A and B are shown apart, each in its own frame.
Chain A
Amino acid sequence: MSIAQTLQGRRFFVTGGTGFLGTALIERILRTIPESSVVLLIRPGRRTTPMDRAMKEIIRNDCFDRLRDELGDSFSSQIESRLDAVAGDVTRDLLGLDEEGLAKMSTCDLIIHSAAAVSFDSPLDQAVEINLLGPSRVGDAMAAARELAQVHGTNGPQHMIAVSTCYVASTFQGEAKEHLLGDHRFDLDVDWHREVSSARRLRDDLESESRRSPVQDEVTARARRELGAAGSHVVAIRAEKIRDEWVKERLVEAGTTRSQALGWPDAYPYTKALGERALVEQHGPKSTSPLPISIVRPSIIESALSEPVPGWIRGFRMAEPIIVSYARGLLKEFPGVPEGIVDVIPVDMVVADIIAVAAHGPADKEVAVYQVASGVRNPLRYGRLVELVQEWFTERPLYDDQGQPISVPAWSFPGRGRVQRQLKRATSGIDAIERILGALPLRGRQATLSAELEERNTIAKRALGYVELYGSYTETEARYRIDRSLALFDALEDSDKATFAFDPGVIDWDAYVSDVHLPSVVRHARVRTTPGTQVMADRQDRGRAAVLSPDRQLAVFDLENTLMASNVVDTFAWLASRHLPLSRRASFVADLVKDGPQLLALDRRDRGDFLRSFYMRYEGAPADQLRADAWELFSEQLLLRSYPEGIARVREHRKLGHRTLLITGALDMVIAPLAPLFDDVICARLGEKDGRLTGRMQELPPIGEARANVLEDYADANGMKLSESVAYADSASDLALLEAVGFPVAVNPEARLALIARRRGWLIEDWHRAKGGSSRTFPLGPLDAKQPGASRRISRGVTR
């Protein structure tokens, strides 16, 4: 009987369906096995049902394009009737299934457990919960489902296939056979219970350590450094994130340390190995609750050879970051020995192997292990892979930001240590430059530059991680035997051999790498494959088009450094000196300069305190005089320091029918001449008594995160959606404001904001003063054309 006939009408329970292997598996089952159906175990989202998630994350993947074409109109109805999803999680006992979920599981015939934490930088405890305890939890749930089925007079699941990895065999040399662990003389006898409790305890310890001084202090300080005076709430959110990362980093490190001590390259194979052992101990033939189990161990899974389409891949797999880093010129060398073997297996072969095992059924009184790997039968030599990659990118180079082709370096097969040292030197160099740049008050283009540097740093760091990890895999000298898989393959009917091909002997590596894998990697890596600067321009144009779509409702603008290069200090200097005779100007400037550092420090600490204290300088100033002078200030000073592109943008929004709003800490009288540019203005106002200013603000203008609240109220009051609004600001202290809207725009961002904007893909605008505009650093009002009798003093700051 063929595989399709054997499995016809069967119901599969699948974990890990949203993963690379899982997606391919589900697609193949639904496409090739008639009347089969699948129940997925899906982690519930906060607002989505498991089925929604399944549709969004699995069925919408391009993996299903072929099936969609084949089925045409009946695709949705087929999926609806043959696909079901239950809420659950492999990190919880009995998979966290509710009654209904368990009942659904009990109607299944087969269980395929492919959920795993495969990423090399998984925290240890997470890897332990998913990879180590996951398989036995699936076993527990299977046992419960079988009991439930018996109550209902049915059989329940008859076979569990647990997906593991060849690398469980640790880094020993020689042949790794399709044996259970513990059967080999070199296997360490590790007590997995201990490993579990230690990992959990480590998480608890780190969690509490991170909440105490000095870690908590450092974390908060770093968040403040990053965001500045953005507001305590925003800083707190950022600090929590940094703290989480701190804990995670230490757990990743702990995982690597422990794994390497036991002879595995990292936490993934280590936890998978112990997971196999735990499964066998709890549900193996010799256990108290024996279950029919098979284990399939693939090597490194890469893009599909032919099913559903050649080159299909999901997510960023292990080798891709390295290949892309190399093609982008970030990675000059890659460790490894040319004659070493890279054990890669296309995803469709792994899927075929699993389905063949499912059709074959479990072994009697034994946990059968099937390895699916290419190294022994049809080895891909590392040297050959490198040559192919090099040739490929020499012919089709990637392009840098300037649209220039990047030439790939010749690979010299250095040792791993050397590459790591190189990369570390590079990243620490970038780190240092970045620290310096971050400390400088950069804006606009320079700030964007430092953001680019940071991005390169991230890529280099990621590549370093992969080199560390991947290096140990290429250096693994174990040879994974696949005798049992091959025997299974040989026993297949001829038609199945074509439909469910998993004999790696048929792979033509040259063709696979050049025609299938690399094109797919490049397609998925979002890298530039065409010359010219068009792509950058396109991105900018798209961003602008989105911001200036007629669908937008509200555009809110910050003033200082967003629309003009001016601030409360220099407007004060101008106004206060406007009627000052020449003889008194020097001492006025000296006074203001003397207070400079103190003002600057205050501004950095708390913008509200700064404004409150600074505006006191206006105490006693004649209000009408100031109002009149403000118009002169505007045309002689502010307008000259304005960014014409910014002013044009405000007007463009208005022309499109968007409402425009200015939020600023500047004084109402100072910005009065600018007010007609906007529909509304929210600004600071000083009290007035007997025609003189009191120096006290009538209400504090919104600053930092308060701006987001004010904006929210404003949008509500005007029946507008923030998700359809645009905000323009220049500094990380306006983060809350920018985050509040659907379309944030960083204008001439200072370094911290530039970084954030770049990471989040926000539109960045580089607006300049008109060439020819004023560039005086310390602007004083002009001398009176003809000095009136006595000069009118407007402020305490002057009389002091």
Chain B
Amino acid sequence: MSPRPGFVLDVDRSTPPTLMWKGESFGLQKLPTGSRVIYAPEPFDALEDPETAIREALENPTGDQIPLSAQLRSGMRLTICFDDISLPLPPMAAPDIRQMVIEAVLDAAAAAGVDDVVLIAALALHRRMTEPELRHALGNRVYDAFAPHGNLMQHDAEDPDNLVHLGVTDKGEDVEINKRAAESDLLVYVNINLVAMDGGHKSVATGLASYKSLRHHHNPSTMRHSKSFMHAPDSALHTANWRMGRLIKDSGVNIFQIETTLNTNTFPDSFQFLQKREWEWNLRDRVSFQASSRALDAAPKKMARQILQGIKAPHALRSVYAGEVEAVHEKILTDVWAQQGVAVEGQTDIVTMGLPYICPYNVNSIMNPILVACLGLGYFFNLYKGKPVVREGGVAILFHPTRPEFHPGHHPSYIDFFEQVLTETKDPVVMSEKFEEAFATDPWYIHLYRTGHAYHGVHPFYMWYWCAHAMEHLSKVIIVGGDPATVRRLGFHPATTLDDALEIAQDTVGAHPTITHLHNPPLFLSDVT
């Protein structure tokens, strides 16, 4: 049976309650009659022979690029960059797609006698990956061949000795990226295009850039003019990255772009019910739901987190293209939309979303309140093309416990951001002017980013800017089940139940609002007309 497309369900009296994520647990939520629920398309089938598909892609490049093997020769400098821990979500079951692609590239390099090969995790300002994380992404064979010799590196946006300034775009944007990558004879970038935002020129221009370069597009104004960044033509973020990417290309950096799409098979067998439509749950799904939701509710928070963070997704390779950046990206976008696109007719007064336990920045970590805001308003809100699912002046209702918990090793500057910045302002523009620089240049944060596993000092600002478009668009954000003090600190409204939240929303959207629920994950992109 071929996978069914995504669709919009109209809730009537016979509709069973909807699965609702609430951070590290989930439950069933009865939605008001007349609400709509958007369901993702079912996962496409996996490619039968991914290894062959990858090899073929490398040898039959897309766009204006020559086959990989033709570019490899002894004595050359080869640098392979790859997406970091933030992709895919949840992390995929071994073997990771990066491992498969990189092994293919390395085989070709070995065959051509290339010995100067370096791997670089394209962190941008993300935290450095740990050894187990790198081993998972690359496989033990690759790790053990590169790491002990110092040939497995993690991009350091604060290492002046390993950055190179390639020039300034016609809009005055500095382009400064990883020196080793820029000065290699060939730069291979291995992407996982989880959503439409990923890949393209953003890979190198963002993933390998310095703070000096990133700040030109990671700022409130760009974010407000990215409507949304899931659709490049409407995204100022992408326009900037494309300008930079072209400058990088023009300055002679030879990029061999590899992009991949995965199907949306998000949860392993035991959690299959999480990606099934509720009225199709069989006995096993019901039992699994009861058992797991109760276990998660009863378990200590830390244990619940461990259980969920331990989930490895059975994502499978769906398509792979290699070659010239823009040509490759265009093809991949078609595939991403094919797997994730859902046509949605008309906007709604209220959008509801259950926020799961994971977002790109808390893999093996804690979803702190700022990340909660970012996941809801930065990511889920922006998963659209055309116009947002919720109308301008509408209300977003998020479900999440929003506890004031932080990972002090991964998110040290978030703690101070929460205590020092959000207590003074919630306005992205004000904070960017008043606080950003101090956080971005703080030597202690830089020390932790470079030597530990901490996100860069400026990262919480970026998370907040990520929400800027939604904050401007919405008149109210309500978090159901959120810790009241924390939710207020974020500038949102706490509510205990959906009914409370609808009551709170009433003064903005009236007594009979239209409601649309995003049944996400699995991920989907709304094409709103």
Write the residues of chain A forming the contact surface with B, with a CB cutoff of 8 angstroms: 631, 634-636, 639-640, 642, 644-645, 647-648, 651, 673, 676-677, 769-773, 775, 785-786
Contact = CB atoms under 8 A, between A and B. Distances in A.
B452 A639 contact: yes
B452 A673 contact: yes
Interface string B128-169: 000110010000100010000000000000000000000000
Given A770-B406, A771-B403, A771-B406, A644 B451 contact: no
A673 B406 contact: no
B453 interface: yes
Contacts of B437: none
Given A673-B452, A772-B407, A644 B135 contact: no
Nearest to B407: A772
A112 B340 CA distance: 100
Contacts of B453: 635
Nearest to A769: B408
B452 A676 contact: no
B419 A771 contact: no
Contacts of B454: 635
Name the residue among A634, A639, A775 with the largest chain B CB count within 10 angstroms.
A639
Contact of B443 (A647, A676, A786): A676
A344 to B, nearest CB: 52
B405 interface: yes
Interface string B414-452: 011001100000000000000000000011100110011
A772 B409 CA distance: 10
Interface centre among A635, A651, A772, A775 (most CB of B within 10 A): A772
B444 A651 contact: yes
B408 A639 contact: yes
B404 A785 contact: no
Contact of A786 (B140, B406, B407, B451): B140
B387 to A, nearest CB: 37
A591 B132 CA distance: 29
**What size tier do the contact residues of chain B reach?**
20 to 34
A134 B83 CA distance: 90
A281 B287 CA distance: 104
A785 B132 contact: yes
A771 B405 contact: yes
B47 to A, nearest CB: 29
Interface in B373-426: 403-409, 412, 415-416, 419-420
B451 A673 contact: yes
A186 to B, nearest CB: 72
B408 A786 contact: no
A771 B406 CA distance: 6
A676 B131 contact: no
Contacts of A648: 415-416, 419-420
Majority SS at the chain A contact face: helix
A770 B135 contact: no
Contact of A677 (B144, B368, B404, B444): B444
Contacts of B302: 775
A668 B420 CA distance: 32
Contacts of B416: 644, 648
Contacts of B419: 644-645, 648
B316 interface: no
A770 B405 contact: yes
A647 B452 contact: no
A349 to B, nearest CB: 56
B131 A785 contact: yes
3 closest Cβ pairs, A-B complex: A772-B405, A635-B452, A770-B408
A636 B412 contact: no
**Chain B: interface secondary structure?**
helix
B72 interface: no
A644 B417 CA distance: 11
B458 to A, nearest CB: 16
Nearest to B408: A770
B452 to A, nearest CB: 4
Nearest to B132: A785
B366 A772 contact: yes
A639 B368 contact: no
B452 A771 contact: no
Contacts of A636: 409
Given A634-B452, A644-B416, A676-B443, A772 B368 contact: yes
A265 to B, nearest CB: 56
Nearest to B442: A651
Contacts of B443: 676
B139 to A, nearest CB: 11
B452 A772 contact: no
Contact of A631 (B132, B144, B407, B451): B451
A689 to B, nearest CB: 27
A644 B144 contact: no
19 contacts: A635-B453, A640-B407, A642-B408, A644-B408, A644-B412, A651-B444, A673-B451, A676-B447, A769-B408, A770-B407, A770-B408, A770-B415, A771-B404, A771-B405, A771-B406, A772-B405, A785-B132, A786-B135, A786-B140
Contacts of A631: 451-452
A563 to B, nearest CB: 12
Nearest to B127: A635
A287 B419 CA distance: 80
B135 A773 contact: no
Task: Indicate the member of B403, B415, B443, B447 with the most A CB atoms within 10 Å.
Answer: B415
A544 B185 CA distance: 57
Nearest to B404: A771
Contacts of B144: 786
Contacts of A773: 406-408
A770 B409 CA distance: 10
Contacts of A673: 451-452
Given A631-B452, A770-B407, 12 more contacts: A635-B452, A635-B453, A644-B419, A647-B444, A648-B415, A648-B416, A770-B405, A770-B406, A771-B404, A771-B405, A772-B368, A786-B135
Contacts of A677: 444, 447
A637 to B, nearest CB: 9
Contacts of B407: 640, 770, 772-773
Contacts of B403: 771
Contacts of B366: 772
Given A634-B452, A639-B452, A648-B416, A676 B444 contact: yes
Contacts of B442: 651
A648 B444 CA distance: 10
Contacts of A647: 412, 444
B499 to A, nearest CB: 29
A788 to B, nearest CB: 10
B213 to A, nearest CB: 25
Contacts of B444: 647, 651, 676-677
A771 B366 CA distance: 10
B303 to A, nearest CB: 12
B482 to A, nearest CB: 15
Contacts of B135: 785-786
Contacts of A772: 366, 368, 405-408
Contacts of A770: 405-408, 415
Nearest to B135: A785
Contacts of B405: 770-772
Contacts of B132: 785
A639 to B, nearest CB: 4
Nearest to A648: B416
A640 B408 contact: yes
A645 B419 CA distance: 9
A634 B454 CA distance: 12
A635 to B, nearest CB: 4
Nearest to A772: B405
B246 to A, nearest CB: 38
Interface in B248-302: 302
Contacts of A642: 408
A676 B444 CA distance: 7
A784 to B, nearest CB: 9
Contacts of B448: 635, 639
B481 to A, nearest CB: 17
